[in-house]
Structure 1
Amino acid sequence: MALPAPVIWTAFSIAKRYLPQLTGRLFGEKGEATAEKVVDLATGLLGLPKSAGTEEIMERLAGDSLAAEQLQLSLAQIEYEEYKAEIEDRASARRSQEARGSARGNWMLGGVTLGLLACLVAVATGRITETGALALITTIAGALLKMLSDAFAFEFGSSRGSKEKDAQITEFKQAMLQFGSESIRRTAETAEKAVSRAPVVMAPAAAAPEAAPERPTSRDFVDELRQRLT
């Protein structure tokens, strides 16, 4: 049963005012159920009937800050539950797709094995003696053997086991790089602000070295006396 348009509009008005990111979940397959939750939650907190109009609900919320805060927290919880359900649906669809892919791989592996056995039987029985036909069968058998070896390498090697790990590691590295870049940027901005706000202090000029006092020369009294006598 489709909800009346006023109910959807009321839910949209409430979400737009108190949790804008929830507005996108009011449309689509599950949108009506989410809209009904929003209206029921607001009217329940305010003690109003479910048939209350949009203007009445918005006016009561504007005049009751406590109810508005409780409503905002409850809307955030609804948005979280919707997001969690969406993630689980995606994971379920991914698992189903992987299961179908695994089944197709098993059928392909069985076909390759049967084809390789048929080639070996045709050569081993000796029924085909023409050189061209034997060369063609040998070529086909080689191609099938290569497919079979690749399938075993994927199944029992590190390719399948590490496929999801590689994706997780890539996402982790990307997140760490973004975090590191953001940290570096913030550190640089903080350093620039600190430098721009710091007072400029002029370094005192280096004082000129004082001249060393002249050492008095020693007088030669004997030589002076000799000069006077002569």
Structure 2
Amino acid sequence: MTAPDVLRVLVADDQTIVRDGLVALLGLLPEFEVVGTAGDGAQAVARVAELAPDVVLMDLGMPGVDGVEATRRLAAEHPDTAVVVLTTYADDASILGALQAGARGYLTKSAGRADIARALQGAVARQVVLDADVQARLLRAAGTPVPPPPVELPDGLTEREAEVLRLIAAGRSNQEVARELVVSVATVKTHVNHLFAKTGSRDRAQAVAYAHAHGLVPRSG
């Protein structure tokens, strides 16, 4: 008997080798049980009606009824079954079509096992999980600036220490840094002492050289 916290999954993909690979991959994860497979969208809808899985891992480019139409039918006829798209397509039309049809997750086939597991679990919990590239495309399509990926700072510097270091490299005095960051001069001195210790700098000149060597200041020209 299936444990109550095990999610029942249906895998829908028209390529047998991909379908079998996904079944094998999910079989390695104790939190999932693959209850069936489908080779096209129409079969996926029929198998959901028969098996009532918690979630369908759905390809898009299938013959006959494609993944978008199958997702639309499942959302209308079997709303308790979540759909996560796993596809090679990452164009705006495919992404928007699938999400508008009711998919709760969208991954490309470069996704790893952990990404797939997270998306399946999130979909059942009524959360939308998107591949990072997919999310970026949606933001661009909506005209929203895509934030740059976070930069890992060297030697344990905090964001504020790096900010102080950039201002020092720009020639600001402690008093000017304090005014710009709206903090006290004593606070700036504390940050300076910390960043000196972390960067191994004895003075401001060495700290400036460190900032340039580690790309912490914009290049001129």
Band the TM-score falls in, shorter-chain normalisation:
under 0.3
TM-score by length of 1: 0.27
TM-score by length of 2: 0.27
Q: Which structure's residues are more often helix, by fraction?
A: 1
Q: Which has the larger radius of gyration?
A: 1
Q: Which structure's residues are more often strand, by fraction?
A: 2
